Amino acid sequence: MGCGTVHIVGAGLAGLAAAIGLVGTGRELVVHELARHAGGRCRSYFEPALGLTIDNGNHLLLSANHAALAFLKTIGSEEKLVGPEEAEFAFADLASGDRWVLHPNKGRLPWWILSKARRVPGTRPVDYLSLMRLLPERRDRTLGDVIECEGMLYERLWRPLFLAALNTEPSEASALLARAVLRETLARGGSACRPLVAQGGLGPAFIAPALDYLERNGGKLRFDHQLRRLELVGEKVRALDFGEDLVTLTDADSVILAVPASVASLFLPDLPVPTKFRAIVNAHFKLDPPKSVPSVLGLVNGTAEWLFAFPGRLSATISAADRWIEVPREVLATKIWADIARLTGAGDELPPWQIVKERRATFAALPHENAKRPPPQTRWRNLFLAGDWTATGLPATIEGAIRSGNSAARLVKTAAQARSLNGSGRGMRS
């Protein structure tokens, strides 16, 4: 074979999507991963404190996430993402005791806003028009510059929605990214907003079948293989230095760097990358979820913002959780459980629990951080970038990570076509 090798560095979703996007191109595919496992920030592991396999964080997807759904279809695990037939979001307000179900109608014409039974209680149809201010193209500003970040509709809908999607306090978050979320979801109608969760875990849904698919298609996976340095000569990467081994590249080889922003900037010091991050805290409680708790429940005026019911456990999520990072785990568990106990009528006694803090869960979706995100092309002709922090136009999400991997794969294919057209592929390795 004379098509060369594509080295993909990083086996998170961006790297896996890039590799999968190159299956069938005749290129040899090698994925190099620092850890002993794949998945990066989207993975499952056995948690001894609970005696259960859990995810590193509760992940919510929406039916609008077409790249994520296509990825699952390719690897044969579409059915592992489950959710209601229609867009329905149950909410509970812990301050007032109100409970409601937000129920956008399927089509683009948002008549659900006119229905008291479907919209947020305590809001009027006219309140929803405020988000129209986000739609015109404009230079990026904070969401707080564009809409009023207070009032019933904000507290009960826009804040939970944008906080979950952007992992940044919405009032300071990028209006452009908030608009991208809105355009891809609510603006497309309820059919784009069905909540989807990997009930059996992220690993079994996204990661294990992706690795199987790659291996079945001849891809090579090298775990415990940390890239230490890129050898950059002129317009190209000439070698990948993994410490114990040096991989020298031929003219036909390409590299996709699908590592976190902070790691990419070590290899490419001039690369502009987001440098501020936001934490996510998850609290897991081992118990059979009471029937009154839906699979996803939005919490207003609570410590956590979302509660997920999984087989044998309830898990709560706090986004943009930096203020909780230094708080002792017991204090957090007790506080979050107190909210759950109030909601469900359970006693105050804590079931077996674990708190998982991801300090740098995503880049901070602030206007100036969003502006730093680089495109997938680099000035080195055989080097491409992928990762949720690259310029996808979306916040740091599974959808963004997978789209970034798809873009990098497309660029590798285009570069190969260009090379074969101008005949410069003659010196390829065979």
Ligand X SMILES: Cc1cc2nc3c(=O)[nH]c(=O)nc-3n(C[C@H](O)[C@H](O)[C@H](O)COP(=O)(O)OP(=O)(O)OC[C@H]3O[C@@H](n4cnc5c(N)ncnc54)[C@H](O)[C@@H]3O)c2cc1C
Q: Which residues bind ligand X (CB under 6 A)?
A: 9-15, 32-35, 40-42, 56-57, 59-61, 226-227, 258-260, 263, 280, 358, 361-362, 387-388, 396-399, 401
Compare residues 227 and 412 and give the one whose CB is closer to ligand X: 227
Least separation, in Å, of the C-beta of 134 and ligand X?
A: 20
Q: Which amino acid is at 292?
A: S
For ligand X, the closer of residues 113 and 173 by Cβ is 173
Beta-sheet strands, E only, within 89-228? 89-93, 99-102, 195-198, 220-222
Cα distances (angstroms) measured from residue 341 to each of 223, 282, 333:
42, 17, 12
- The residue among 13 and 120 lying less far from ligand X, judged by its C-beta, is 13
- For residues 354, 203, 173, 130, the Cα torsion angle rounded to the nearest 10 degrees is -100
Of 131, 132, 134, the closest CA to residue 177 belongs to: 134
Q: How far, in Å, CA of 416 to CA of 85, rounded?
A: 42
CA dist., res. 263 & res. 260, Å (int): 5
Instruction: Name residue, tokens 């089509």.
Output: 107
- Contact yes or no for 251/2 (Cβ under 8 A): no
Of 104 and 387, the one with the shorter C-beta distance to ligand X is 387
Taking the C-alpha atoms of residue 195 and residue 57, their distance in angstroms, rounded to an integer, is: 16
- Cβ at position 105, least distance to ligand X in Å: 24
Q: Which residues contact 125 (CB under 8 A, 6 or more apart)?
A: 113, 114, 119
Please check whether residue 289 is in contact with residue 39, taking contact to mean a CB–CB distance below 8 angstroms: no
Give min distance, CB of 316 to ligand X, in A. 12
The CA angle 93-107-119, to the nearest 5 degrees, is 20
Distance of closest approach, residue 233 Cβ to ligand X, in angstroms: 20
Beta bridge pairs of residue 409: none
3 state SS of 252: coil
Please tell me what DSSP assigns to residue 218: T
Nearer to ligand X, 40 or 294 (CB): 40
Token pair, residue 185, equals 């979801």
**313, 284 Cβ separation under 8 angstroms:** yes
Closer residue to ligand X in complex, CB, 185/382? 185
Q: Which is nearer to ligand X, 38 or 176 (CB)?
A: 38
CB of 84 to ligand X, least distance (A): 17
Shortest Å, Cβ 242 to ligand X: 8
Q: Which is nearer to ligand X, 65 or 382 (CB)?
A: 65
8 Å CB contact between 91 and 111: no
Min separation Cβ 191 and ligand X, Å: 18
**Measured from the CB atom, is 30 or 113 closer to ligand X?**
30
CB of 116 to ligand X, least distance (A): 29
- Find the shortest distance in angstroms from Cβ 389 to ligand X: 7
**What is the dihedral sign for C-alpha 261, 53, 221, 22?**
negative
